[in-house]
Amino acid sequence: MNNAITASKNWRMDNTEVITEDNVSTVYLYGNKIAEVGDYWLRLFDGGHRTVTTKSRLNAILSVHGCNFDSIFQKNFEWFFHDSHRSMDIPFESGMDVA
């Protein structure tokens, strides 16, 4: 998935798909949009399902295309985005810009 995003290529395996148009890679999980990755920006979505799998895919994307040690984590059934640049935990909102 991350190789396809980096190379701006379309890719699909099992439940995950990357579609790239106009230098923007859109990542889908089970057909639901979970991320948009541009040259200098990143937008994350929950795809309507805040599952372990969704969180895992988002963290994989952040590990390569995010800043430093950004991550998505869950605490007391709520999702948060850890902004490593500002050393802050922010409530996760679907569609949030993070880079």
Question: CB–CB of 38/24 below 8 Å?
Answer: yes
pLDDT at 73: 97
Report how far residue 84's alpha carbon sits from residue 20's, in angstroms, rounded to the nearest whole number: 27
pTM: 0.94
Total domain count for the chain? 1
Domain residues for 67?
2-97
Cα 50 to Cα 68: distance, rounded to the nearest angstrom: 23
Identify the residue whose tokens are 């996760």: 92
Q: To 10 degrees, the CA torsion angle through 68, 87, 91, 40?
A: -40
The per-residue pLDDT for 85 is: 87
Q: pLDDT 10s per residue in the chain (99 long)?
A: 999 999 999 999 999 999 999 999 999 999 999 999 999 999 999 999 999 999 999 999 999 998 878 999 999 999 999 998 888 999 999 999 987
